[in-house]
Structure formats: structure tokens, C-alpha cells
């Protein structure tokens, strides 16, 4: 029987699919805002005996949005608050009534045609409170069940052994960390300073082992249990781990150097110094993913006739299937299967992409050459966006075995895997800056990676929209795709 290492045992134990607590809280907030606004519209329509007008929609959604903002400021959208159920209802009721009083004062001040009369707001307040009580009770039962099943867990590991790690683990174990689960310890030292078990947690391997481990379990956080004075060791470890999509924190519980409280973040009562954050927070990831899927679904509907015509053209101009499937590297270095219209002769397709397509490549069909030049062969990847494998904007995914001058990409470019800290995209910052098409030289792949990393470090939704706006011009005027 094959020996199972502690790290392999942990990987097997944390396999169930998880949900992000931050994304869950964001969804609850959006759902409550919409539900409260629709409740007001229904009550108003029943009261005045006519369908609501545009002004009614705007007014009631504005108040509902204000309620959502007030709830967030009041802390009722935290995960522990959602689990609390009716225990948090007094705070929810106080905030809700405050918003209603604000709407009444606004109506009197701006004379909004009595839209927020006292009688109507009393009715909306009572019905809204009843809805929130019922909804929060049901939500509490559901989130508690998810917590018991481990579906809301965030996974963390400790880097560094010895007394500092033991002290930190003891501190964390004394607090109920509802959604943070410490999986174990990683340390390069193999002597008595780092035993196989520290404060009840197993040693899972070295820092080099941590990179592969983080990809297998979708690690969320790495906590350094190292003294601030160990600057050289901290920087050495950061050089290895910065390519991962994780938050990296330095535990400051045992350090003599003290900062103001606002300089720290806290896990339980343990102070932390933030060394590195994930490129996209959970809330940003949620909004980006929602935008991607909504727009991709709309584009699929718009381009459906064109895609059907292209598929027919591929089948009529060369034997073989219309679609080509290829394994590529996605988020967190995971393998994904992307779809394209087939542009090469079927018997000469190269799923591993060991030989790049070059100018006047005889493997490309005449119709395929037209598709590649216009990038219309990429349209089926909208299905990957809807599935969640790709984003509309991000570093372009590369084939698993792609090479440049007979060297794998990750060996040719230092920090190559850092481009996988976000989902790959249909288009990207490198592509709209002229770096698309064949990568036959080291400079081309290095420049692409530079633009990809620049995009990741400076990501914002306006930047995504800017790249999407530039993409049609890059397709029309670009000269490197063939």
C-alpha cells in the first residue's frame, strides 16, 4: 500500500466544493435591496390603484439602496451576522426604521409628491421588517448548515515552526474562527526546531512543497510565524509564494516592535501585518464574474447566427468537427479545456501546441486562416466564460505544453505563473497593446507576461471596460495573428 503523506491526507480531506463567504454576503445584500424595493412597489401600486411610474421605481430603489448601505455599515452583512439569525434582528430593525424615518424627512424636505407619506412608510416598514425577520431566519439555518459541512471554510497554513508558531496556533485555537481553518505548518527546517506536530497541527512539508499544495486545495491565506527581524528569510519565501493567488500575512503577536492598532489586521485576537493581498478581493471577484457571465450570455445570443454560419463553414471546407478542444492553464495553474472553431486540418491538429502556428502554415485551412486573422475562431470561448473557466478580460490562457525556442514558458520567463493569479480571459492588456499571435522569440513571451502582470497589479472594472473597448480595434488593425 502506498504511503500517504500528511499533506496528501489533508488534500483529500478538503476536497468538497466551497462557497466564498464574502460572495455569499454580497449576494444577500443585493437580494435584500431588490426584494425591499419590489415590496415597496407592490405596496404602492396597491395603495394608489395604478402601476408604478418610472419615478416610483427610482425613488424606492434609492431608499432600498440606502438601506443596503446602512445595513453594511451596521455590520449585519458579515458572515457571523448572517449565521446569527434573530439575534441580530434588533439591530436590523433599528437600522431599517432609521432609513424609513430618513425617507420621511426627505419627502417633507424635497416635497416628493407624498410618495413617502407617513402611512405608506409605516406599512413598508412593518412589511419590510416581517420579510427581513423571515428571510434572516431561513438564511441563518442555511448558513449554519453550510458551516457544519465546511462549505464556507477559508483555508490557511502557517509558515515557520518552533515557539512562535506554537504560540500563534495556541492563540488562534482559543478563538472561534468561524470560517478560517488552519490546515498545518510548512517549514524548511527539519531538525528539532520544527517537530512533525506543532500545537496539534501537522507539519506538511517545506516552503517549496507549499506552492503545489496551495494549488491543490485552493488555499486562501498564508500566515508567516516568523520574527520581523528575519527579513532575509521572509523575502526569500515571498519570492517563492508571490505567484500564488493568496493573502500573505506576517503574525505580529510575538514581535517587540509595535505599531498603531490600525496598522494591523486581526485573525481572532492575533495581530497581523499584511504583506501581500490577492489581486482581486472576493467582492471584486464576484462583481467581475457576474459581469462576465451576463455579458457573455448576451454576446452568445447576439452572435449565435454568426457562430452557426462559421461552424457550417468549417464543416463544409474541411473534414472533421467544427469545434477544437484544447487543454490550457487557467486560474491557479489549474487545467481547463477551452473551445475554438477548428482552423487546422483535422489530421494535423496539435492539441498540445508543441508546434506553434506560423505565417503561411500549411496546416491551416483557407477558411481557418480567415478565422484566425479576425479571431472569430475564439468565439466559442464565450461558453468558457459562462461556465466560469474564463473571464472576458485577463491574461490569455496558454496551452499546457506551449514552448518558445524549445523552452517551456515558465522556464523562459521568471515569475510566469504569477499571471495565473486571476482567471485567464478572451482578451487582455497584452493583446490590445499589440502582443498577440505567434510567440517565436523570448522577447515576445516576456513582453506578454509583463503586460499581464501589469494588468493584474492595476486591475479595475474601468480598466476591463477600456480593454473591451479597444479589442475590436486591435482585431481590425493588428498584424500578428495568422
- Give the tens place of pLDDT for each residue, 451-471: 999 999 999 999 999 999 999
**CA–CA separation, 14 vs 218, rounded Å?**
9
Greater confidence (151 vs 94) lies with 94
Looking at the fold, whether 137 and 158 belong to one and the same domain comes out as: no
Domain range for 225 is: 154-278
Looking at the fold, whether 126 and 174 belong to one and the same domain comes out as: no
- Indicate if the pLDDT at residue 61 is higher than 70: yes
Planar angle of CA 246, 422, 473, nearest 5 degrees: 155
Confidence of residue 23 (pLDDT cuts 50, 70, 90): confident
Residue closest to 482 by CA, chosen among 297, 357, 317, 349? 357
CATH of the domain at 215: 3.40.50.20
pLDDT of residue 262: 63
Confidence of residue 376 (pLDDT cuts 50, 70, 90): confident
* Beta strands 201-205 and 221-224, pairing class: unpaired
Looking at the fold, whether 305 and 415 belong to one and the same domain comes out as: yes
pLDDT of residue 57: 82
Read off the pLDDT of each residue in 357-361 and give the average, rounded to a whole number: 71
**CA–CA separation, 338 vs 335, rounded Å?**
10
Percent of the chain with pLDDT over 90: 23
Confidence of residue 256 (pLDDT cuts 50, 70, 90): low
Contact 326, 351 (CB under 8 A): yes
CB atoms within 10 A of CB 304: 11
From 143-152, 259-268, 323-332, 361-370, the region with the lowest mean pLDDT: 259-268
Given phi > 0 = left and psi -120 to 50 = alpha, else beta, which region is 114? left
pLDDT of residue 424: 93
pLDDT of residue 178: 59
**CA–CA separation, 72 vs 50, rounded Å?**
33
In a domain, 177, yes or no: yes
Which triple of cell numbers denotes residue 142? 442555511
Contact 424, 331 (CB under 8 A): yes
Read off the pLDDT of each residue in 313-341 and give the average, rounded to a whole number: 89
In a domain, 92, yes or no: yes
The reported pTM is: 0.78
pLDDT of residue 216: 83
Which triple of cell numbers denotes residue 429? 492588456
Q: Name the CA radius of gyration of the chain, rounded.
A: 27
In a domain, 422, yes or no: yes
Looking at the fold, whether 248 and 386 belong to one and the same domain comes out as: no
**CA–CA separation, 260 vs 5, rounded Å?**
42
Long-range contacts of 465-470 (CB under 8 A, 24+ apart): 467/393, 467/427, 467/428, 467/429, 467/432, 468/392, 468/393, 468/427, 470/432
Domain count, the chain: 3
Planar angle of CA 128, 21, 212, nearest 5 degrees: 170
Q: Which of 148, 182, 199 is the last residue of a domain?
A: 148
In a domain, 1, yes or no: no
Contact 377, 460 (CB under 8 A): no
- Indicate if the pLDDT at residue 480 is higher than 70: no
Planar angle of CA 123, 128, 132, nearest 5 degrees: 155
Looking at the fold, whether 67 and 205 belong to one and the same domain comes out as: no
In a domain, 482, yes or no: no
Read off the pLDDT of each residue in 66-87 and give the average, rounded to a whole number: 86
Q: Which of 148, 164, 179 is the last residue of a domain?
A: 148
Distance set, CA 25 to CA 80, 89, 143 (Å): 10, 16, 10
**CA–CA separation, 457 vs 368, rounded Å?**
35
Task: Quick: pLDDT tens for 261-308.
Answer: 566 777 777 888 888 888 888 778 888 988 999 999 999 999 999 999
Looking at the fold, whether 264 and 326 belong to one and the same domain comes out as: no
Looking at the fold, whether 273 and 310 belong to one and the same domain comes out as: no
Contact 132, 39 (CB under 8 A): no
- Indicate if the pLDDT at residue 113 is higher than 70: no
Looking at the fold, whether 371 and 269 belong to one and the same domain comes out as: no
- Indicate if the pLDDT at residue 84 is higher than 70: yes
Read off the pLDDT of each residue in 314-332 and give the average, rounded to a whole number: 88
Looking at the fold, whether 127 and 180 belong to one and the same domain comes out as: no
The overall average pLDDT reported for the chain is: 83
pLDDT of residue 252: 80
Looking at the fold, whether 294 and 261 belong to one and the same domain comes out as: no
Percent of the chain with pLDDT over 70: 89
Task: Quick: pLDDT tens for 137-186.
Answer: 999 999 888 888 878 888 899 998 778 888 888 888 776 655 788 898 99
In a domain, 12, yes or no: no
Contact 171, 270 (CB under 8 A): yes
Looking at the fold, whether 427 and 367 belong to one and the same domain comes out as: yes
Q: Which of 148, 166, 187 is the last residue of a domain?
A: 148
In a domain, 9, yes or no: no
**CA–CA separation, 252 vs 244, rounded Å?**
22
Looking at the fold, whether 270 and 193 belong to one and the same domain comes out as: yes
Burial 49-66 (b: 16+ CB within 10 A, else e): eeebeeebeebbbebbeb
Read off the pLDDT of each residue in 309-332 and give the average, rounded to a whole number: 89
- Indicate if the pLDDT at residue 355 is higher than 70: no
In a domain, 382, yes or no: yes
Q: Cβ contacts of residue 236 below 8 Å, gap of 6+?
A: none
Amino acid at each position: 500500500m502506498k504511503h500517504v503523506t500528511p499533506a496528501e491526507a489533508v488534500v483529500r480531506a478538503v476536497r468538497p466544493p466551497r462557497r466564498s463567504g464574502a460572495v455569499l454576503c454580497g449576494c444577500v445584500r443585493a437580494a435584500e435591496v431588490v426584494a425591499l424595493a419590489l415590496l415597496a412597489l407592490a405596496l404602492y401600486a396597491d395603495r394608489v390603484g395604478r402601476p408604478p411610474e418610472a419615478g416610483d421605481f427610482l425613488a424606492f430603489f434609492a431608499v432600498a439602496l440606502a438601506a443596503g448601505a446602512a445595513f453594511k455599515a451596521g455590520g449585519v452583512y458579515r458572515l457571523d451576522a448572517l449565521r446569527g439569525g434573530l439575534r441580530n434582528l434588533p439591530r436590523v430593525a433599528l437600522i431599517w426604521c432609521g432609513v424609513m424615518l430618513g425617507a420621511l424627512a426627505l419627502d417633507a424636505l424635497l416635497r416628493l409628491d407624498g410618495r413617502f407619506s407617513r402611512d405608506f412608510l409605516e406599512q413598508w416598514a412593518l412589511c419590510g421588517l416581517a420579510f427581513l425577520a423571515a428571510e434572516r431566519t431561513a438564511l441563518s439555518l442555511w448558513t449554519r448548515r453550510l458551516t457544519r459541512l465546511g462549505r464556507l471554510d477559508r483555508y490557511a497554513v502557517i509558515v515557520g515552526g518552533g515557539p512562535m508558531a506554537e504560540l500563534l496556533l495556541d492563540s488562534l485555537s482559543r478563538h472561534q474562527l468561524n470560517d478560517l481553518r488552519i490546515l498545518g505548518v510548512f517549514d524548511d527546517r527539519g531538525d528539532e526546531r520544527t517537530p512533525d506536530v506543532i500545537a496539534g497541527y501537522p507539519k506538511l512539508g517545506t516552503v517549496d512543497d507549499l506552492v503545489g499544495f496551495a494549488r491543490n486545495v485552493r488555499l486562501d491565506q498564508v500566515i508567516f510565524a516568523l520574527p520581523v527581524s528575519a527579513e532575509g528569510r521572509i523575502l526569500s519565501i515571498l519570492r517563492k509564494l508571490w505567484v500564488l493567488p493568496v493573502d500573505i500575512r506576517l503574525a505580529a503577536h510575538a514581535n517587540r516592535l509595535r505599531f498603531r492598532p490600525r496598522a494591523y489586521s486581526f485573525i481572532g485576537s492575533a495581530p497581523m501585518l499584511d504583506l501581500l493581498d490577492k489581486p482581486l478581493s472576493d467582492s471584486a471577484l464576484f462583481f467581475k464574474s457576474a459581469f462576465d457571465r451576463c455579458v457573455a450570455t448576451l454576446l452568445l445570443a447576439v452572435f449565435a447566427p454568426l457562430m452557426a454560419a462559421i461552424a457550417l463553414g468549417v464543416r463544409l471546407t474541411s473534414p472533421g468537427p467544427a469545434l477544437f478542444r484544447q487543454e490550457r492553464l487557467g486560474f491557479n495553474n489549474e487545467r481547463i479545456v477551452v473551445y475554438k472553431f477548428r482552423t487546422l486540418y483535422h489530421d494535423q491538429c496539435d492539441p498540445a501546441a508543441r508546434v506553434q502556428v506560423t505565417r503561411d502554415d500549411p496546416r491551416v485551412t483557407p477558411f481557418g486562416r480567415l478565422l484566425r486573422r479576425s479571431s472569430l475562431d475564439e468565439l466559442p470561448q464565450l461558453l468558457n466564460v459562462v461556465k466560469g473557466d474564463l473571464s472576458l478580460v485577463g491574461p490569455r490562457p496558454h496551452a499546457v505544453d506551449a514552448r518558445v525556442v524549445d523552452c517551456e514558458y515558465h522556464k523562459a520567463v521568471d515569475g510566469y505563473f504569477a499571471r495565473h493569479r486571476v482567471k485567464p480571459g478572451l482578451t487582455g492588456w497584452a493583446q490590445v497593446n499589440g502582443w498577440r499571435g505567434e510567440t517565436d522569440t523570448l522577447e515576445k513571451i516576456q513582453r506578454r507576461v509583463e503586460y499581464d502582470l501589469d494588468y493584474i497589479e492595476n486591475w479595475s472594472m474601468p480598466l476591463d471596460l477600456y480593454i473591451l473597448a479597444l479589442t475590436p480595434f486591435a482585431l481590425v488593425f493588428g498584424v500578428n495573428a495568422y
